[in-house]
Structures are given as structure tokens and as C-alpha cells.
Amino acid sequence: MLLGCVADDLTGATDLALMLTREGLRTVQINGLPDDDLDVGDVDAVVVALKSRTNPPAEAVAQSLAAATSLRALGARRLMFKYCSTFDSTDRGNIGPVAEALLDFTGSAFTVFCPAFPRAGRSIYNGYLFVNGLPIDESPMKDHPLTPMRDANLCRVLQRQTALKVGLVGYSDVDAGAEAVTTAFARETAAGRRALILDAISDQHLRHLGEAIADLPLITGGSGIALGLPDAYLARGLVPRLTPPPVTITAPPGRSVILAGSCSTATRGQVARAIAAGIPSLQLDPMALADGSVTADTLLDWLAATPSEGPALVYSSAEPDAVRAVQERLGTEAAGHIVERLLAEVAASLPARGYSRFIVAGGETAGAVVGALGIKVLRIGPEIDPGVPWTVSLSGPPVALALKSGNFGAEDFFLKAWDMLR
Ligand code: ADP
């Protein structure tokens, strides 16, 4: 195993595992810290999915170091720390503190930071992060409930999170190619800067960067920074060949269900489209969960009465005003947990009832559901929409799973995903 990755959330881990798979590395995803006796088989890369993005920094550091230690034990010669392409973090962390700890762990002289993913509308120019053409502090991310991004200058953002001196490898160096980037690394580190933000506004830039960073013991970034790594590994003979990504998936036979706990704009559109297409649906009202009038049994009975040949949709997705009203009555965290817990409880009893095909919408929701299903290892299958593949469980109950981060996927995502399984 060549590359070991520590991801700060579940759907982000899947996004990275998909990127590595698409570019030719045999990759598996492990949910949570690997067990000591875990056998990952013959793979080039392993992505460990943590849930550390918004934990207290010390906890995120401890979890990330534990994951790095396990990845080393599995044979990883290089490490990557994966975070969101919108650099989700606060002045306390966790990107700076985790990267600093991993830098110490690897003993390397410096590391790089690059959340750019131009294909998904995330680019970095002169250290400024743009989301769909807007500086991130003018994008909807400025109002994120947990990690509001109020400064687009990543050098400043990162400098507030770390004692390492932050530097920049800017557009002109990145555009000039891998050699110029390597020269820029030498220039920055000679000036004592050990945390280097990298510009990138195109896939070509990511390929230049891949070539320049392929030998670093530690890199950090979004899934985009991995785009150029497989080719660079092949050129160095670090992997004997690139493996074409899977184009089909063999899903275990059984019933299908969509569990949507995300309230993001994309998911709400996908829910509306699925209902319009005639998929049987049941909307969950968090207040009814709180007063006990709707329970896991209510949902299981409803599911049992739906036609067995097609998918059924259970969703709590609601408009922002409705979500705010519930949050005011129950508290934000409690409202989130009550929905997550119920969907997880339902999911846990579905395999025994013949369900083997799951789509889960929402990062937190997916974490809760996969945990309840007891699925530790995932193999990456074909891509449904950018950043979201079908996956197959390699441990726990045999199921096919599509784990969709809230804002990912086109409006017909739920329909398209099932068509790929036929
Ligand atoms: P996303 O990926 O879109 O952020 P998540 O699953 O990560 O989705 O987060 C959505 C959160 O909102 C979860 O904690 C979920 O339980 C909670 N939630 C879902 N539906 C509602 C609702 N109707 N009212 C309040 N909170 C909700």
C-alpha cells in the first residue's frame, strides 16, 4: 500500500476514494479507525473516514494521529490529510492543528495545503479561495452554521490556526509546471515557511502539483489535490500499473431505500424530483419524533407496505424556515440528533428485512447510518455524479451504498443512481 489518507468526514472520504479510483489506484475506504486485524487486501491506497471536522481540536488531532499510525502499520509510505474543498474550519482549527501534528508525525520539513477542485467550482488564485467564481467569504459558505468562512485569503485563514509559518506557491509558479513548483518549495522553506498554500485554477495545475508533491511524506488538501498523484506514482514506478475504474457494479439482490436527512438545496431538489417520478415517499417531522408519535416501527411498517420492486424514500429534508422553527423548539443539535438517530435505527434493522441497496443523503446522516449498519470497509464502484460513487460493503451486511454529501449530485441523482444498478 502506497498512500494512506485521513479524511475529516465520511462523504469527503468517499469523494477522495472515488478520485483515486478514477485516476487508477486500487482504493478502499475504512469507516472509523481500522481494527488491528484488518486485512485490506491488495490495494494501492486506503482512505480512513473520521468524523473530526468540527470536534475540539485536541480530539481531532488525537483521532488523526491514531489513523495515521494505523495507516503506517498497514504499509502506507505516504500520507494525505483530506478536508473539504471549501476549507471548512475556524480560527481554532481543525486543519492547522491536525496538519501540524501529522507533519511532526512524518518528520517532514514542510507540507502543502490545496483545497482546489476547479471542476467543482473551487479554485485558488494568489492564495484566495473562490467558490463558483465568488470569493468564499461572499459565497453561501460565509453563513455555514459551524464553520463560517469570512476570509477568502487562505494564507491568513491558515496562519490563524497554526504556529507554522505559512507561505504561498502562487499561480505563476504552478502554471509554469512541476519544476517551477519544486523550486518554489525550496524558496519558501529556505525562508522558514513550512505550511504552503498552493494555487490551482485548472486540472492542468492539479497535474503539475501532483508531479511536484508525489514524493512528499505528507500532503493536505481536498480531493482535487489527489488528481495528479496516480500518474506521478506510475511515472516513478511506485505502482506497477494504473487500474481502470469500475464502470459497473454488482449489487447484492434485495430491496432498495433512500434515506435523506440533508436539508441542503441540492437534496431538496432531488427529493422533489423523486416524488414527482412516483417513488413512494414519507416525510419525517422532527417534532413528531420528539413527542414519540413517530417511531422506527412507524417507518418500518410504512416501508413494508411499499412495493418491493422499486425504491422507497424516507426524508426529513425541509425548507430553511421549517428547519429553523424546529431548531428553535428543540435546539439545533438535538433536532439533528433526533433525526439521525431514527434513520440510523431504521437502517440497522433493514438488512434483516431484505434491504441491500441504500442511498443516504447528508454527511452527518450518512455517518450515523453507516455506523448503525456496522459497515467498516467499502469498495468504490462507478461514479453516479461528480464526487459520489456507488460503493459495496466489504464487511458487515452485504449492501450497495451511495453516500451523498448534501450539496452533491444533479436533480435526477436518486433516479440515475438506481438505473445504474439494473
Ligand atoms: P448535509 O450534508 O446537507 O449538511 P447532514 O446530514 O450532514 O446534511 O446534516 C443535516 C442535519 O440536519 C442532520 O443533523 C439532520 O439530522 C438534521 N435535520 C434533518 N432534517 C431536519 C429537519 N427537518 N429539521 C431540523 N434538522 C434536520
**380 belongs to a structural domain:** yes
Q: What is d(CA 8, CA 172) in angstroms, rounded to the nearest whole number?
A: 31
Residue 350's CATH number: 3.40.980.20
Note whether 376 and 231 are same-domain residues: no
**240 belongs to a structural domain:** no
pLDDT tens digits, residue range 366-399?
999 999 999 999 999 999 998 899 999 999 999 9
93-96: long-range contacts at Cβ-Cβ below 8 A with a sequence spacing of 24 or more?
93/57, 93/60, 93/161, 94/8, 94/52, 94/53, 94/54, 94/55, 94/57, 94/60, 94/61, 94/161, 95/158, 95/161, 95/220, 96/158, 96/160, 96/161, 96/162, 96/164, 96/195
- Could you list the residue range(s) of the whole structural domain that residue 37 is in? 3-235
Three cell numbers at 75?
Answer: 504499509
Spell out the residues 6+ positions from residue 327 whose beta carbon is closer than 8 angstroms to its own: 335
DSSP state of 142: G
* 356 membership: H or E segment, kind and range: strand 355-361
Confidence of residue 405 (pLDDT cuts 50, 70, 90): confident
Q: Is the CB of 335 under 6 A from ligand 1?
A: yes
- Nearest protein Cα to ligand 1, atom 14: 336
Q: What is d(CA 357, CA 258) in angstroms, rounded to the nearest whole number?
A: 9
* Helix segments in 284-403, DSSP class H: 286-290, 296-304, 320-330, 332-349, 363-373
Task: Out of 170, 200, 235, pick the residue that ends a domain.
Answer: 235
Q: What is d(CA 87, CA 98) in angstroms, rounded to the nearest whole number?
A: 13
**248 belongs to a structural domain:** no
Q: What is d(CA 332, CA 3) in angstroms, rounded to the nearest whole number?
A: 38
Task: Out of 181, 205, 235, pick the residue that ends a domain.
Answer: 235
CA–centroid distance, 4 to ligand 1, in Å, is 30
Note whether 288 and 375 are same-domain residues: yes
Note whether 150 and 230 are same-domain residues: yes
Note whether 275 and 165 are same-domain residues: no
DSSP state of 293: S
Q: Is the CB of 344 under 6 A from ligand 1?
A: no
Task: Out of 188, 204, 235, pick the residue that ends a domain.
Answer: 235
- Nearest protein Cα to ligand 1, atom 18: 336
Pocket perturbation via mutation, ligand 1, pick of 262, 283, 323 by most ligand atoms within 8 A of CB: 262
pLDDT tens digits, residue range 255-277?
999 999 999 889 999 999 999 99
Residue 143's CATH number: 3.40.50.10840
pLDDT of 406 strictly over 90: no
Task: Note the pLDDT of residue 142.
Answer: 85
Note whether 64 and 109 are same-domain residues: yes
Note whether 307 and 405 are same-domain residues: yes
CA–centroid distance, 261 to ligand 1, in Å, is 5
Spell out the residues 6+ positions from residue 164 whose beta carbon is closer than 8 angstroms to its own: 96, 99, 100, 103, 193, 194, 195
CA–centroid distance, 122 to ligand 1, in Å, is 24
Note whether 104 and 158 are same-domain residues: yes
Q: Check: CB of residue 10 under 8 Å from CB of residue 51.
A: yes
CA–centroid distance, 166 to ligand 1, in Å, is 35
Note whether 220 and 270 are same-domain residues: no
pLDDT of 133 strictly over 90: yes
- Nearest protein Cα to ligand 1, atom 25: 323
**241 belongs to a structural domain:** no
Spell out the residues 6+ positions from residue 36 whose beta carbon is closer than 8 angstroms to its own: none
Note whether 265 and 367 are same-domain residues: yes
CA–centroid distance, 324 to ligand 1, in Å, is 11
**219 belongs to a structural domain:** yes
pLDDT tens digits, residue range 186-196?
999 999 999 99
Note whether 190 and 281 are same-domain residues: no
pLDDT tens digits, residue range 293-343?
999 999 999 999 999 999 999 999 999 899 999 999 999 889 999 999 999
**344 belongs to a structural domain:** yes
CA–centroid distance, 243 to ligand 1, in Å, is 37
Atom number in ligand 1 closest to CA 263: 3
pTM of the model: 0.92
Q: Check: CB of residue 29 under 8 Å from CB of residue 104.
A: no
pLDDT of 145 strictly over 80: no
Q: Is the CB of 15 under 6 A from ligand 1?
A: no
Note whether 114 and 56 are same-domain residues: yes
Mean pLDDT of the chain: 95
**Residue given cell 513550512 in the structure block:** 194
Note whether 163 and 277 are same-domain residues: no
CA–centroid distance, 145 to ligand 1, in Å, is 12
Neighbour-count burial for 226-240, b at 16+ CB within 10 Å, e otherwise: bbbbbbbbbeeebbe
CA–centroid distance, 32 to ligand 1, in Å, is 21
- Nearest protein Cα to ligand 1, atom 24: 323
Distance of CA 219 to the CA centre of its chain: 16
List 169's β-bridge partners, or say none.
198
Q: Is the CB of 270 under 6 A from ligand 1?
A: no
DSSP state of 419: H
CA–centroid distance, 282 to ligand 1, in Å, is 16
Task: Note the pLDDT of residue 386.
Answer: 87
pLDDT, greater one: 146 or 293: 293
Domain count, the chain: 2
Q: What is d(CA 39, CA 42) in angstroms, rounded to the nearest whole number?
A: 9
231-234: long-range contacts at Cβ-Cβ below 8 A with a sequence spacing of 24 or more?
231/23, 231/24, 231/207, 233/2, 233/3, 233/25, 233/44, 234/24
**33 belongs to a structural domain:** yes
User: Nearest 10 degrees: CA dihedral of 291, 296, 301, 306?
Assistant: 110
Q: What region does 88 belong to: left with phi over 0, alpha with psi -120 to 50, or beta?
A: beta
pLDDT tens digits, residue range 152-162?
999 999 999 99
Pocket perturbation via mutation, ligand 1, pick of 8, 263, 287 by most ligand atoms within 8 A of CB: 263
**209 belongs to a structural domain:** yes
